[in-house]
Amino acid sequence: MKNIFLILSFVFGVIFIQSCKKSSQDDNEEQQPKATVAVLTDRVKTSDVAVTVNATGMTDASRKEKVLAPAAGWIASLKALEGTAFTTGQVMAVIRPKEAQAAIVGAEALLRSAQTEAQKIEAQHALTLAQESQPGIVVRAKFDGIVATRNVMEGELVAENTELFTLIDLSTTNFIADVPLQLLPKIHIKQQASVILESLTKKKYDANVEAINPQSDAQSQTVKVRLKFSNLTSSGRRELKTDIMGTVHIITAVHRQALTIPRSALLRDDENETYSAVIVNADSLAHIRPVTVGVIMDSIVEITGGLEKGMTVITRGNYALPDSTRVSIETQGSR
């Protein structure tokens, strides 16, 4: 009995010691401060949010003409080179008809074969007479513009209606957007828009819907919508060229004083196709809040449910942050 008593005393002693150690560890854990996570935050605000239809397209010119040869002949004079600017009525080229060219070529051959001074004088007179009597057909600019393409060279023989060059009036440059058919009912004449041209350092240009093509493209199921640039400065107009690809955002409605948060504050669950944001309460604890969204733009998001104006939302450090995590708010330039 004595041995059994000693054994039981030893076991209870061990249990008591272990219990004391665990109690001591629990006390230490409660006394140690929990680690905090540094985050950046912003407030839920109200602002006007534009509802847009977005489409791709490229710049074009309303006034653009292919200049054709009015008759067959030789290009006697060519002043129109790529990039050359012309005013209305200015001479672009001179075409000498075949018959006139034949007379001049004959007179030139006669001059080359002349041996005596009298023969040279007579041949030169014949050449001058041929040149004066056959001045050639003058091709003039029909409007103020710039030569975009040139397809002939001086001295070249061309047929009637040969395309000589293309003249473009850059002051008529506009943007042609390919709008999907299902979005077309939202588009109306005079709607405001902004055009972003990627090649011009993503510069944004104001524009208005000017015309909607009555025909659709059978293959792409899109409709051409022409937008006219507005409020262009002289430097902005000089920057615009034709065939520059870009994106247009056509404003179809405006939600006044909508709740908004920065785009970086919005979290998306791709698996469930839901959204959430992480808010910070007065005790500096982070809480995940499911939200419903409206318009999603590049920098801000419209919130239609789940948040209230003035709430603090985490904009950096919110990804995979456990609920009820203690956070410390950093200033924007602290990292």
The CATH T-level fold of domain 37-48+258-329 is 2.40.420
Q: Is 134 a residue whose pLDDT tops 70?
A: no
- Which H or E run includes 66? strand 64-68
Spatial contact of 142 and 165, defined as CB atoms under 8 Å apart:
no
Q: Record the tokens describing residue 59, joined without a space.
A: 């710049």
Q: Could you tell me the pLDDT band of residue 200, with boundaries at 50, 70 and 90?
A: confident
**Among 269, 270, 256, 262, which Cα is nearest to 316's?**
262
pLDDT at 189: 97
Q: Is 45 a residue whose pLDDT tops 70?
A: yes
pLDDT at 31: 47
How far is 107 from 158, CA to CA, in rounded Å? Answer: 22
Q: Among 110-119, 205-214, 316-325, whose mean pLDDT is lowest? A: 110-119
In this predicted model, which residue has the larger pLDDT, 142 or 111? 142
Q: Is 32 a residue whose pLDDT tops 50?
A: no
Q: Could you tell me the pLDDT band of residue 328, with boundaries at 50, 70 and 90?
A: very high
Q: What is the overall mean pLDDT for the chain?
A: 85
- C-alpha 287, offset from chain centre: 38
pLDDT at 109: 66
pLDDT at 10: 47
Degrees, nearest 5: CA angle 135-109-74:
40
**Among 154, 99, 95, 91, which Cα is nearest to 130's?**
99
Q: Could you tell me the pLDDT band of residue 239, with boundaries at 50, 70 and 90?
A: confident
Contacts of 219 (CB under 8 A, 6+ apart): none
The CATH T-level fold of domain 53-61+171-255 is Elongation Factor Tu (Ef-tu); domain 3 (2.40.30)
Alpha-carbon torsion (88, 90, 95, 101), positive or negative: positive
Taking only the tens place, the pLDDT of each residue in 246-275 is 999 999 999 999 999 999 999 999 999 999
Domain limits of the chain? 37-48+258-329, 53-61+171-255, 69-168
- Work out the percent of the chain whose per-residue pLDDT is above 70: 78
pLDDT at 126: 61
How far is 1 from 6, CA to CA, in rounded Å? Answer: 9
DSSP 108-130: HHHHHH--SHHHHHHHHHHHHHH
Which class is 69-168 in CATH? mainly beta
Q: How many CB atoms lie within 10 A of CB 252?
A: 17
**Using alpha carbons only, how large is the chain's radius of gyration in Å?**
40
